[in-house]
Amino acid sequence: MNPKQALRAKLREHVESQPVDKRKRALKQTRRKKAPLPARMIAYDFETTRIKAGTPRPLYITAYGEGRDALHLESDIRDFGHLTNILKTYFLTEEFKGVKFVAWNANNFDAYFIAAALLACDEYVMRPYLTRSNSLRGLRVIHRDDIQNERATGWEFLDGMAMLGLVGVSLEKFLDNFAPNHKKLKGTIDFEKEEFDSTNPDHRAYAMRDSIGLFHGMEKAQSILMEHFEQPLAVTMGGACIKIFKSYIPLGVIVNTPKDECVSLVRDYVMRGGYCYCVKRYQGPVWKYDINQAYASAMREALLPSGFSFHVATGVNKYAETYIARISATNPKNKIPFYYRTETAGRMRAVFGVTEISDTWLTSIEIDQLKREGWKIKIVESWCWESSFQMLDYVDRLENGRITAPGGPSGPQGTVYKNVGNHSYGKTVEQLEPIEYVLAAECPPGFVPYYADESEPLEHIFYRFVDDQEPKDYHQPQIGAFITAHVRMVVRRAALISPDTWLYADTDCVVFSSNVTKELDIDPKRYGAWKVEEEGAIYQIIAKKVYAELPDAKDPAKKLKRSAKGLNVRKLTPEDFDGWFNGTPPVQDQVQRNNFVSVMQGVEMYRSQQRSGTAVEKT
């Protein structure tokens, strides 16, 4: 028996003594038995009054589809009653059942108008796809009579940004890349100064082009996803990519769902976001380095837990490669703060420990790193997995497909490959709520009114508990936790190269006041390697996610990189950043959007507010 077989045998002894919850599904390689059909899509778009405090009024709607789902719609909108009739006549038809109606940034704009219009019609019920924070991910519309039919076919109103994982990308930029023959019309209307005018033929052409271009762009993106991964577009890129991820899990690997106690520890302590830390305010030359596709490469480099998990009451099983452990640690010589979560006074809080890490749970990836640094670690207890795996072939394919893509890594194929890698594991940490919300003119059978914090029920919002809602096989938060832990440790190792000149880190980047290029694994293309982003450029580093590149007299035309968390960075001047650096943050009057649920409760879509930049001490 070789060492690996002995390790598996020892772990199996522990596993066999553990009771298994037969209801929980295991994650393993799953591939399609037949070729999938592409998602049916029609693009649509609203033109509205200008954005300001209150709720904009929809003025004009366009929609475009081809082939089986052909549609060419251009129409004024007199009022919401008229919009309801337009939706019933042209969208919610029998022939369009199963169609995804797609708008760009719809979850933050267009879907609000769709929902408001359909609330006036008692024929339909809307199921919003909501995150735990009530952020909208799309709308599903069904006939009221189908409310108890889980398989009823309806219509979906979705967001192209979310479907492609291109949040923050403008429609103009998307069309330039994915639909260059249908680019956004420029110079037609200045929404900062004028209103949309449906009597102006140029304005109408502008509106129609948005829908036509979006349709062709979405079709192009889907064709790449279908050709290279046999996967149609879904409500979100994460929803599509988890299926791709599952198809590339190595044969023989089985990821069993841990016990509830272990899952709770992973969610509460172990699963954390990217490492973000600002050492101090600084003005001067910087050297900035980014990891190429950090999270995709982590799937290839990190040992991810698989098989069954088991509890060890004292310490760690010596045969375990992957585990989470409850620890405390000290290192009086450490200079790089370590990010962890701990419970204080009954509440979980994030801590950046320098010389001490108090009671917390960490992954084996993090503990191994701390041991190499010389931390004295006390392990109290642990949860161990019987085996581990890596997504080697999968990430190799993602990397090669992007590097060799026609049009380069930023072209359509390269962009799709990049986003597949970025969104592959996100669904593993998803947490389902045992509750279903619907929007309707009247309360559907089996639902009850939603009261929130009010004494009176909220109009049009109803809910029911879903007692039999089981997690999906891919709901394995330990996988996401180990992937994110790996990236944090890569960033940490980079910061440790020169602790005294390290200035800043954010998720997949590090910034120094000295040149450490020779100390890093540099390759501008290879996944997991570092690439040089700045070499001696002059920056002001002010706080987390607050920095500004200063003008270069040798290159006055250079586009300066700036970030201002919570503020509109385009409206900030160099003088604003100077004042901020010296301790006086700028203040902006802003128009902010309220979340979808609030608006459906009757709150205005946009509100005015005054917001200050991140506070820093005056110098």
Q: What is the pLDDT of residue 601?
A: 79
Q: What does the pLDDT read at residue 21? A: 52
Question: Nearest to residue 62, comparing CAs of 208, 204, 178?
Answer: 208
CA distance 485 to 362: 9
In the block, residue with structure tokens 């109408």? 204
Q: Which residues lie closer than 8 Å to 29 by C-beta, 6 or more apart?
A: 246, 247, 248, 249, 250, 251, 253
Locate all alpha helices (DSSP H) within 315-460, ordered by sequence: 364-373, 392-403, 412-422
Are the C-beta atoms of 426 and 476 separated by less than 8 Å? no
The parts of the chain modelled with pLDDT lower than 70 are: 1-24, 452-455, 468
Q: What is the pLDDT of residue 4?
A: 47
| Domain with residues 41-235, CATH architecture | 2-Layer Sandwich (3.30)
Query: What CA–CA distance (Å, rounded) separates 322 from 208?
Result: 54
Number of C-beta neighbours around residue 86 at 10 A: 20
- What tokens does 584 get? 């006086």
Radius of gyration of the chain (CA): 26
Q: Domain ranges in the chain? A: 1-24+254-391+473-528, 41-235, 553-619
- Provide the CA 519 distance to its chain's centre, in angstroms: 32
Pick from 93, 94, 88, 91: nearest CA to 103: 91
Distance CA(398)–CA(420), nearest Å, equals 8
Residue of 317, 334, 318 whose CA lies nearest to 369: 334
Packing angle, helices 201-229 and 412-422, rounded to 10: 60
Q: What is the token pair recorded at 180?
A: 């260059």
With beta carbons less than 8 A apart as the criterion, state whether 535 and 287 touch.
yes
DSSP 522: B
Secondary element (H or E) of residue 27: strand 27-28
pLDDT of residue 23: 45
Burial classification of residue 524, based on how many CB atoms lie within 10 Å of its CB (0-12 exposed, 13-18 middle, 19 or more buried):
exposed
CA distance 152 to 124: 12
Dist. CA 126–CA 142, nearest whole Å? 6
The neighbour count for residue 261, using CB atoms within 10 Å, is: 9
| Rounded CA separation 601/116 (Å) | 10
* Residue the block writes with tokens 């709901």: 475
Note the pLDDT tens digit of each residue in 209-250.
999 999 999 999 999 999 999 999 999 999 999 999 999 999
